[in-house]
Amino acid sequence: MAEMTPIKVLFAALGGEGGGVLSSWIHAATVASGHFVQGTFIPGVAQRTGATTYYLEVVPGAGDRHRARGTRPVLALNAAPGEVDLVVASELLEAARAIQAGFVTPDRTLLIASSARVFTIDEKAVMGDGRLDQARMLEAAHRFSRRAVVADFAAAAAAAKAPINSVLLGAIAATGVLPVPADAFRAAIRSEGKAVEANLRGFEAGSAIALGSDPKATTHATAERQPGGLPPSLRLDAFPAEAHALIASGFARLADYQDEAYAQSYLARLARFTARPGVDASFMRELARHLAVRMSVEDVIRVAQLKLRDTRLARVARETRAGVHDIVDVTEYMKPGPEEVLGLLPPWLGRWAIARVSARGWESKSWPLKIKTTRLSGFLRLKMLAGLKRWRPRTHKFAQEGAWIARWLDLIERTLAVDPGAAREVVATAALVRGYADTYKRGLSNWSKIVDGVIEPALQGRLARLHFADAVLQARLAATKDPEGETLAQTIAAIRETLAPGRMAAE
Amino acid sequence: MAEVSFHKEIESLRLGDGDTFYGEGILAVTKALLQSGVAYVGGYQGAPVSHLLDVLVQSESLLADLGIHLETCTNEAAAAAMLGASISYPLRGAVTWKSIVGTNVAADALSNLASPGVMGGALIIVGEDYGEGASVIQERTHAFAAKSSLWLIDPRPDVPTLVHAVEKGFELSEASNTPVILELRIRACHMFGSFPAKDNRAAPHSTRNRIAPARFLYDRLSHPPATFRHEADKAERRLPAAQRFIADNKLNEQLGPDGGDIGIIVQGGLFNVLNGRLTLAGLSDAEGAVQIPTLVLNVVHPLVPDEITAFCAGKKAVLVVEEGAPDFIEQGIGQILRRADLQTRLHGKDLLPMAGEYTPLVVGKGLAAFLGRHGRAAAPLDRWIADVAATRAEVDKTLDAPLPPRPPTFCTGCPERPVFSAMKLLRQEMGPVHVAADIGCHSFATFAPFSQGNTILGYGMSLASAAAVSGTVEKRTVSVMGDGGFWHNGLITGVAGAVFNKDDSVLVVMNNGYSSATGQQDILSTKEAQDGRGKSLDIEAVLKSLGVPWIRHVRTYGVAGVVATLREAMRSSVKGLKVIIADGECQLARQRRIRPEMERKAAAGERVVRTRFWVDPEVCTGDHSCIRLSGCPSLTIKPSEDPLRPDPIAHVNNDCVGCGMCGEVAHAAQLCPSFAQIDVIRNPTGWDRLRRRMSAALMRLLGAPRDTARAPAPSLAPAE
């Protein structure tokens, strides 16, 4: 009964991507081509952007045969692992999910998958980088399918100004896995009657991708290049060659942030570590990276400076797809708090003022501003703020940041003497201190907890050297995963359990 | 108006003899109702059966032609009570809802309906929300059928079979004077297929030809002493009548060869899953030509003992394939076999799991165990099970990390999201607060990043579920309820109860204008419009008339205002119920309305302002605290372009509808200065252009680079 074998098709998609319409196009085209088809889906609340699936079975040539005999195929409503001929996924994680469920197998499955990611909330919410490893998902896509057509279908859809479902339909048609001529799919789009032109454009774009020999896999490597505008006198010979590009970037950033003298002080701070045992190129790169970021903390002056960047409006217009004749208006949402504003005062005055403010419980007071930088008044206000740049080295905020950096560098230096591996982890803790206002304060407080609860005790020899690096790493990850919450407290408590009571020699 | 427009489907409801109907299972059932001569239809929306009512609501002229009375009921209890029309009149009627939850709500009326029984055929079409894609507690409707003596049809998922089940369901109901439940699983409701259509039939009595009021007959009341007679009548007359009808009409199908030493008894709804595994085992094919005797129970309650004994007699063993717990069918069959003194070995939940959906893999494993136990092991089936496990292990090794779930969430621009951002901010300020969650889109707030809610006790039940908590827990409790839940149940069960008992707690009513989660059906407070059923009823006026002492309105997108109002409610010296009505129209409905209008205007050369938000990639430090307070699908992350800061940065994609929530959160939480509102003016007026040129000139004079000064614009109101 080989002629009776159904072709089984599974779509993995996100609610709202038009999977239902895609199914109905396939229905219409397969019925029109004389086949028997049955499909179903499980929308439920998943239609609200959750993961969902659509499933279809097509019995080739069975339409007429069954009408004549009065019988009907008994088709499944659920995909069975190992028994799917075509899996279409509009997003890479959903493709991986289908592969993990066993629906993609090397003996029979053609996989059409978008390499584009729509990140889940778990990935997005992490402070830092919580993204899944794309390379592994791509590897699984190629390894477990009979053939994989993997490309950025979301980008193709955007380029064709078409919905993604039509692009996927085009790819399905071009692979020939369904016994349906391309024109039958085009006719189905036309007879559906909605946004016909856009859908046909998408269909052709998708066909082109599937017919193209080389599936393009997207990678998001950050290109490292020597930044422009560096002084010709800049000498980096003292640093490992692999770190030069990053250090040069840091130098350029700080020269822009303040001035060249300040950037030179960055090099001086780095130079302190060049000859230390355990400091190799990768150590220096990480140190250079974190130090540059920490030395260019986003105070209100910096924010104003960034918002007046001359390339900014063109970027906004491009990213918001504004037309050439459209007018683009930008309203900044800014809300400096007392610490940020009073941080502009000299240290003695700033300290006093901030103490007064917290004594009165006004820390959470702030000034909500909506500043139109595309209009004169807004532009002027930011211009004035940015103009405070020369005053910056005399501010309370600057002094505070300088003290933090000195302490951090000191901790790194002391840790290097004990365990270079742990020192790398101490370098990485700098990433916890970032953001603005409460986020910044929480980060700072988490960092201090790690220093007091893990790093200092370890430096005092109360933690086995073997566990030093790992303890700092665990604490940092806990603070990254759950910046507001309990995880860090629990992790530190667990580490504290293992601490030796008083001072003792490091093992 | 509902989320989906059924323009084409309405046409197919008019098909007649000789036509072929193509469509979704639930719409095929709807068509079958029309072919069966129903006089009335009603129900309460809920996936997976919403479309039945949605399509009929949009089919006014068709209903008028056929004289069908349509009622979109306020809840399932009302829908069940509506079937009371069939107690005293020979009227066929059908109602629909999502089960198990809807059946629970309907239970009182169902019992009182089932007791006297019906004269006209009464059909209850339930969407059995079970297994993958389900959104409710996992229980079986079967229990209600069993305890109230309602018959339960669980048809094979095949469109002509569904249609046949509807038609026969009415006949069964009339033949046994018993309401009949037609149970459709999620996938069956959404299954696309075809069937040969028949002409629609107008009922003999209907809105067009009204019937005379019934004369008084005490036995039609579910009131003692009639109830005692009803109980006996169920057992002595209605049950045998139903069993006779089921047997005579061969509603259950015996497939495969006669005889044989083993057999399978399967719920109709699971037959296709079973057939797939039998096919793999070489014991069937894609046309369902099973080679092992199989009894397909399209009617799962009542069982027909003669059918069961005839099927089992002479067999060494049978396997019952029955999804969910408890194993009602298996128990029933066991009793029948015992009573008939048949020694057939009964398998079911010993080889198949008690809980969970019967997917191909689950059924395949149970079937393999059964076949193996009785010497009929099928090598391809066993190999497949081993292969699936091996493949999954390999894949896990390749992926090397668990895949994060992707639960549903609030849509982009949803007016409910900012309320939960505000609640999260307040939680950071006040510490934990007991939150009574409810059913509706707002239950997505139980997922990350909000992770809020201590209980869900049913639709419109949040406030009632907080009653004892509000009297025993340190801080005031916050209950969340949608306007859908408010009208469904919450007004009486929750608000009236809290006022009556002087409960000191806070209720947030999400006033988005529709029953949104079920597909944006109109409710009492929906704005009155030409094409809708809304009545513009004012929730505040209703609350006032109940004597609620403290009521505030908030515009949900103003996060700081929501936080302030919530704080005020938590700290107010006013004792008693405090209600915050959170106003913001369902964004899906709003976009459906305004998007075509904007496109039309832009094409016609009129001035159109498109608002969206943007994250400044240079200012964003990649801490993602905005995401942890928002969870908006369009607020996502993208790779950093800065080699010094390689962590991904926040990014607003082009799905943004410009609701402004992310900017407001950044303000309310004092998060960061990265957010900017972008207004793109298409077809700017001469005045727009003049202002732009003037501002640009002045800004250049003051040292702006050319590009920055390029685009001044007039003051614009952001989108609502």
Express each pLDDT in B699-716 by its tens digit: 888 876 654 444 433 333
Contact criterion met (CB below 8 Å) for B632 and B412? yes
Question: Strands, E, within A231-309: which ranges?
Answer: none
For A471, residues 6+ apart whose C-beta sits below 8 A from its C-beta are: A454, A458, A463, A495
> Tell me, what DSSP letter sits at residue B234?
I
| B580 burial via Cβ count (<10 Å: 0-12, 13-18, 19+) | buried
Phi-psi region of B37 (alpha: psi -120 to 50; beta: other; left: phi over 0): left
Q: CB–CB of A52 and B133 under 8 A? A: yes
B75 contacts B42 by C-beta, under 8 angstroms: no
Q: pTM for this one?
A: 0.92
A111 and A54 inside one domain: yes
| Residue A377 placed within a domain | yes
Residues from chain A contacting residue B695 (CB–CB below 8 Å): 374-376
Claim to verify: residue A61 and residue A162 sit in the same structural domain? yes
The Cα–Cα gap between A141 and A92 comes to 9
Chain B residues near residue A81 by CB distance under 8 angstroms: 360-361, 388, 391-392
Residues in chain B, pLDDT under 50: 707-720
Distances (CA, A) of B716 to A1, A331, A495, B691: 68, 10, 55, 13
**Residue B553: strand pairing partners:** B581
Nearest Cα neighbor of A217 from A139, A296, A285 is A139
Same domain, A423 and A388: no
Give the burial string for A75-98 (b: 16+ CB within 10 Å, else e).
bbbbbbbbbbbbbbbbbbbbbbbb
- Residue B100 CB: number of other CB atoms within 10 A? 21
Q: What is the pLDDT of residue B706?
A: 56
pLDDT at A124: 94
* Residue of A119, A333, A337 with shortest CB distance to B666: A333
**What per-residue confidence (pLDDT) applies to A324?**
86
- Residues in chain A closer than 8 A to B45 (CB atoms): none
* B253-397 and B417-589 agree in CATH topology: yes
B272/A45 CB distance under 8 A: no
Residues A102-135, buried b or exposed e (16+ Cβ, 10 A)? bbbbeeebbbbbbbbbbbbbbbbbbbbbbbbebe
Measure the CA–CA gap between A60 and A180, rounded to whole angstroms. Answer: 9
Is there a cis peptide before residue B100, judged by omega within 30 degrees of 0? yes
Same domain, A45 and A159: yes
* Chain A partners within 8 Å of B680 (Cβ): 320, 322, 326-329
Last residue of a domain, one of A394, A421, A440: A394
Task: Tell me, yes or no, whether A149 lies in a domain.
Answer: yes
| A216 pLDDT above the threshold of 50 | no
Do A150 and A195 reside in the same domain of the chain?
yes
Mean pLDDT computed over every residue of chain B: 93
Mutate to test the interface with A, among B20, B158, B679, B694 (most CBs of A within 10 A): B679
Indicate yes or no: CB of A484 within 8 angstroms of CB of B628. Answer: yes
Mutate to test the interface with A, among B395, B438, B443 (most CBs of A within 10 A): B395
CA A11 centroid distance within chain: 25
Nearest-5° Cα angle at B683, B681 to B684: 65
Q: CB–CB of A178/A20 below 8 Å?
A: no
Given pLDDT bands bounded at 50, 70 and 90, which one contains residue A217?
Answer: very low
pLDDT at site A215: 45
d(Cα A214, Cα A148) in Å, to the nearest integer? 11
Residues on chain A touching B701 (C-beta within 8 angstroms)? none
| Segment A56-108, tens digit of pLDDT | 999 988 766 666 666 788 889 999 999 999 999 999 999 999 999 999 999 99
List the domain boundaries for chain B. 16-201+209-247, 253-397, 417-589, 607-710
Q: What is the CA radius of gyration of chain B?
A: 30
* Main-chain dihedrals φ then ψ at residue B24, nearest 5 degrees: -75, 150
Q: What is the pLDDT of residue B715?
A: 32
Residue of A nearest to B396 (CA): A100
Tell me which of B287, B598, B702 to substitute to probe the interface with A (most A C-beta atoms closer than 10 Å). Answer: B287
Please give the DSSP secondary-structure letter assigned to residue A273: T
Please indicate whether, in this complex, the C-beta atoms of B187 and A40 are within 8 angstroms of each other.
yes
Domain boundary among A190, A211, A232: A211
Sheet holding B435-437, edge to edge: B455-456, B435-437, B478-482, B506-511, B578-583, B550-555
Residue A19 has pLDDT above 90, yes or no: no
Same structural domain, A112 and A11: yes
Q: How far is CA B701 from CA A405, B293, B658, B694, B714, in A?
A: 40, 91, 33, 11, 20
Distance CA A424, CA A431 (A): 12
Residues forming a β-bridge with A37: A58
Question: Is the previous residue joined to B302 through a cis bond, with omega within 30 degrees of 0?
Answer: yes
Looking at residue A486, its pLDDT comes to 80
Q: Long-range contacts made by residues A462-466, C-beta under 8 angstroms, separation at least 24?
A: A462/A499, A462/A500, A462/A501, A462/A502, A462/A503, A462/A504, A463/A495, A463/A498, A463/A499, A463/A500, A464/A498, A464/A506, A464/A507, A465/A418, A465/A419, A465/A422, A465/A506, A465/A507, A466/A507
- Name the minimum distance, in Å, from the CA of A414 to any CA of chain B: 25
Closest CA to B262 of B346, B351, B158: B346
Same domain, A11 and A121: yes
Residues whose CB is less than 8 angstroms from the CB of residue B478 and which lie 6 or more positions away in sequence, other chains included? B423, B433, B434, B435, B436, B505, B506, B507, B508, B566, B570
Contact residues, chain A, for B441 at CB < 8 Å: 45, 48
Fold of B417-589: Rossmann fold (3.40.50)
Instruction: Domain of residue A74: give its range.
Output: 2-211
Instruction: Report the C-alpha gap between B417 and A279 in whole angstroms.
Output: 48
Residues of A in contact with B4 (CB under 8 A): none
Domain B253-397, CATH number (from 1.10.10.1590, 3.40.50.920, 3.90.650.10, 3.40.50.10800) = 3.40.50.920
pLDDT at A383 over 60: yes
Which backbone phi and psi does A77 adopt, to 5 degrees?
-105, -10
Cis amide leading into B449 (omega within 30): yes
Domain total in chain A: 3
Pick from A253, A310, A319: CB nearest B707: A310
Q: What is the pLDDT of residue B714?
A: 34
Q: Which residues of A touch B360 (CB under 8 A)?
A: 76, 78-81, 83
Is residue A385 domain-shared with residue A415, that is, in the same domain? no
Chain A to chain B Cβ contacts (< 8 Å): 391
Residue A183: beta bridge partners? Answer: none
Over the Cα atoms of chain A, what is R_g? Answer: 30
CATH topology (fold) of B16-201+209-247: Rossmann fold (3.40.50)
Which of A186, A211, A236 lies at the terminal end of a domain, its last residue?
A: A211
List CB contacts (< 8 A) between B677 and chain A.
330-331, 333, 370
Q: Residue A143 maps to which CATH number?
A: 3.40.920.10
Say whether A308 and B132 touch across the interface (CB within 8 A): no
Q: Mutate one of B3, B680, B683, B716 to test the A interface: name it (highest A CB count within 10 A).
A: B680
Pairwise CA distance, residues B456 & B443, whole Å: 8
- Asked if residue A502 has pLDDT above 90, the reply is no
Beta bridge partners of B422: none
Residue A150 lies in a domain: yes
Q: B369: which 2 tokens?
A: 């165990």
- B552 vs A36, higher pLDDT: B552
- How close is the nearest chain B Cα to the Cα of A118, in Å? 8
ipTM of the prediction:
0.92
Is A339 found in the same domain as A414?
no
Angstrom distance (rounded) from CA A7 to CA A179: 9
